[in-house]
Amino acid sequence: MNAIRKAFGIVWILLALAAGYFCIFQFGLPKISSGSQDDLVFGIIILSLLTPIIVGGLLIFGYYALQGEYSLEK
């Protein structure tokens, strides 16, 4: 089970990168540049808050998982 936990660390890192791409290039930037007020608000919240938390948090979580920090002995 510890081996699975460690292996999934790569999944979380990849997920963080995919989420970052999606949040920035599919959501955030197009919404900010659309010219619409509701899109602007949405885009700012996605880029300034949701993206750093999801990407930063998942990257660190994945890194810790790869390092074996979540093994049962620890």
Q: What are the residues binding another protein (CB under 8 A)?
A: 4-5, 8, 12, 15, 37-38, 41-42, 45, 49-50, 53, 57-58, 60-61, 64-65, 69-70, 72
Q: What is the DSSP string of the chain?
A: -HHHHHHHHHHHHHHHHHHHHIIIIIIIHHHHTS--HHHHHHHHHIIIIIHHHHHHHHHHHHHHHHTTTTSTT-
**Closer by beta carbon to another protein, 10 or else 60:** 60
Is 25 or 64 the residue whose CB approaches another protein more closely? 64
| Shortest separation between residue 29's beta carbon and another protein, angstroms | 15
